[in-house]
Amino acid sequence: MCLSGGYHGETIGVPSVGSIDLYVKMYKPILMDAIHINAPDCYRCPYGKMRETCNCECFVNMEQALYLKRLRVFVMPMMYF
């Protein structure tokens, strides 16, 4: 799973999760299957929300993708960061 607009590194796996069409076309035969999700952006909220009125609408796309692909997310405890 990758977030739109995110930096994903500089290895050969990057075109799989990146969104630059030129690289995707060039490396298509060797790319991994990835789920692309719009990244939450509280500064430029696509729903016009402010922090005080946010109900995390931007996470609906991620929840749907996880559900459809039957994926699970594990959140690491803070001691790992």
Q: Whats the size of the chain, residue-wise?
A: 81
Domain around 38: 2-80
pTM listed for this prediction: 0.55
- Does the structure show a pLDDT above 80 at 18? no
How many distinct structural domains can be found in the chain? 1
Tens digit of each residue's pLDDT (9 = 90 or more) over 3-14? 777 766 767 777
User: Distance (Å, rounded) from C-alpha 12 to C-alpha 58?
Assistant: 29
Measured CA distances, 27 to 3, 12, 33, 39, 41 (Å): 20, 9, 12, 24, 29
User: Tell me, what's the pLDDT at 10?
Assistant: 67
Tens digit of each residue's pLDDT (9 = 90 or more) over 32-54? 777 878 888 888 888 898 888 88
